[in-house]
Amino acid sequence: MANRRNIRYVFTSSNTCDGFHSFIPDLVKPLQRVYILKGAPGSGKATFIRMLGEALAERGYEVDFWLSAADPLNPEGLYLPRLDLAVINGSLGLGVDPHYPGATGEVIGLEQYQDRESLRHYGSEIISLIDRLEAERAKVEVILKQAAEARGDIHRIFSPGLQPEKIRHLADKLEADLFQEGPAERHFYASSFSAEGTINYVDDISRSCQRRYILKGRPGSGQSIIMTEIAERGRRRGWYLEYYHSGLERESILMLLIPSQGIALIDAADTEISLRPWDVVIDMNEDLEESDWQEKDLAAAELKRLYEILLIQAREGLESAQRTLLELKKIYRGATDFSRLEDRREELLQEIINNH
């Protein structure tokens, strides 16, 4: 059994209103070494990554599993902080290749473990399934774009009541509390939209934080402005921050984490958070001018119903795409020699342990 205390799960991709997006290309750019698995769906990439990561965790390594919205049960990558090394799925349409092949990266082609002759018999079926999968995902992208527009309309109901001076004062206070020098930043998803619906890891990721500043209030009451402002101040000062983005709108930041200080800043306007005694809850409604809340809340409720209906439609579309993907994986899985692939995984495990 893997040592679960050494394992952390974070989302690196999501189905957003702008299509499927992953932070993996940016995450692997500065790393010392990257192993890139390339192969068809069902060729064993996720199993390779999961079992390799669990074996490393058993040996005492801290392991970050990078999860994909394409299949939340299966990782699209693993990262070893101690070695600054990653093993990733390079076949998610990300265009990831080693920057210095052989020196800092290596491609492991899984097609060498497949019976190409048997796959030829399924040529027309493979083409049909891939075309269907792409069409289903394109429909979902249109629906999610409509959902994002509805969510934006909700924010615009309340945002005219923002008082800029109060927002600036809060940003100054948070900057003083959160300050920490550091050299870099990393980006993940706080939530991810998948065939399972919206999956949220904010509570899990921030569990070890000694202090959490939680921004509550109506949508559009200034949370996103504060998150963006603090993130920008962090960049200017060179802080080390982890940015956790919205799974629907990747430009929207839901959580900022300062790992070395155990501090998190969380936008909880649309996120359920289990409060703890040491959490600092900030009511952003106090920064809104007095208004006819009843009328605005009714208008927002109608838009929220539309938003939720669109998310249900998008989820149904992704479920259909997932069924198509499973059919495709079944074909490739049947042509894969998993015993030889397991030998390659064991070779890589020993290489990582002995050479790094």
The 10s digit of each residue's pLDDT in 100-126 is: 676 778 899 998 998 888 898 999 999
What is the band of 264 on the pLDDT scale with cuts at 50, 70, 90?
A: very high
* Angle at 61 (CA atoms; ends 42, 234), nearest 5 degrees: 90
* pLDDT tens digits, one per residue of 199-212: 988 988 898 899 99
Quote the pLDDT of residue 313. Answer: 97
- Nearest partner of 74 among 163, 13, 145, 154, judged by Cα: 13
Please return the burial class of 236, using the count of CB atoms within 10 Å of its CB with bins 0-12, 13-18 and 19+: exposed
Residue in the block written with tokens 């838009």: 303
* DSSP reduced 3-state for 110: helix
What is the distance in angstroms between the CA of the first residue and the CA of the last residue of the chain?
23
Q: Determine the average pLDDT of the residues in 148-171.
A: 78
Range of weakest confidence among 81-90, 143-152, 221-230, 232-241: 232-241
Q: Determine the average pLDDT of the residues in 153-175.
A: 75
* DSSP reduced 3-state for 161: helix
Residues linked to residue 323 through DSSP beta bridges, in sequence order: none
Separation of alpha carbons 200 and 247, rounded Å: 9
Range of weakest confidence among 100-109, 157-166, 281-290, 315-324: 157-166
Judge whether residue 162 has pLDDT over 90: no
Quote the pLDDT of residue 3. Answer: 60
Q: Are 244 and 257 in contact (CB under 8 A)?
A: yes
Q: Are 209 and 180 in contact (CB under 8 A)?
A: no
Q: Determine the average pLDDT of the residues in 253-273.
A: 87
Quote the pLDDT of residue 117. Answer: 86
Range of weakest confidence among 260-274, 283-297, 326-340: 283-297
Q: Determine the average pLDDT of the residues in 256-277.
A: 87
Q: Determine the average pLDDT of the residues in 47-60.
A: 95
